[in-house]
Amino acid sequence: MIVKVCGMKDSQQIREVEKYVDFIGFILYDKSPRYVEKTPATRHAQKVGVFVNSPLDNVKKLSVKHSLDYVQLHGNESPEYCRSVSNYVKVIKAFGIETEDQITDTTFYEEFVDLFLFNTKTEQHGGSGKQFNWEILSFYKGKIPFLLSGGINSNSLQAIKELHHPKLVGVDLNSGFEISPADKNIDELKTFIDAIKSTTVHST
């Protein structure tokens, strides 16, 4: 089970968490309370930069500046936009999910992304702490693996274990483990990560 922790700022917290996770997400969207101008170095986890409807040249510039392994696109970016970004960095395309239509929209992006991320649909583009109806995941028939996000917290473990989908490969953790925006509850995170890492992803 892949684990991504998103919205981190504090170098000490990152050092404490990153050896347990696969990805650390840094918010490079300046309207977010978790926005960072500088991304601390990581030794173990891969670095993911999160953007929302950013100009293409800005994404490229910041990908180099922050030595990003992945770019996560969290806005209304088109398939053509994703294709341009995929020429120089791996792409995670996020979709805010409210109905099955948002799931089926992924079809147009499959050639240009490495992972999808399914999150709760909000005006703030994520970080709401709210969970969408996970039953909608059954409508996803695509070939690209996905990460599950949106309202995951320490009480979500059993529900995740009971999910059965052949393309579910991991989880994205953020506001459900925060004391305040970007300030993570490290003990709670570690406990959850240890438990979720031992979970086997089930296929249908």
In this predicted model, which residue has the larger pLDDT, 126 or 141? 141
Q: Residue 113: its pLDDT value, please?
A: 98
Distances (CA, A) of 33 to 7, 22, 36: 9, 23, 9
Number of domains in the chain: 1
Please give the structure tokens belonging to residue 106. Answer: 């992924």
Q: Residue 202: its pLDDT value, please?
A: 47
Q: pTM of the predicted model, to two decimals?
A: 0.94
How much is the average pLDDT of 151-175?
94
DSSP characters over 2-17: EEEEES---HHHHHHH
Q: Residue 156: its pLDDT value, please?
A: 95
Asked whether the CA dihedral 130, 6, 4, 124 is positive or negative, the reply is positive
In a domain, 203, yes or no: no
- Beta-carbon count within 10 A of 57 CB: 8
Give the chain's end-to-end CA distance (angstroms, integer): 16
For 97, the domain range is 2-197
Taking the C-alpha atoms of residue 73 and residue 51, their distance in angstroms, rounded to an integer, is: 5
CATH (domain of 106): 3.20.20.70
- For residue 121, name the pLDDT band (cuts at 50, 70, 90): confident
Local structure of 155: helix, strand or coil: coil
In a domain, 168, yes or no: yes
In a domain, 202, yes or no: no
pLDDT tens for each residue of 30-56: 999 999 999 998 989 999 999 999 999
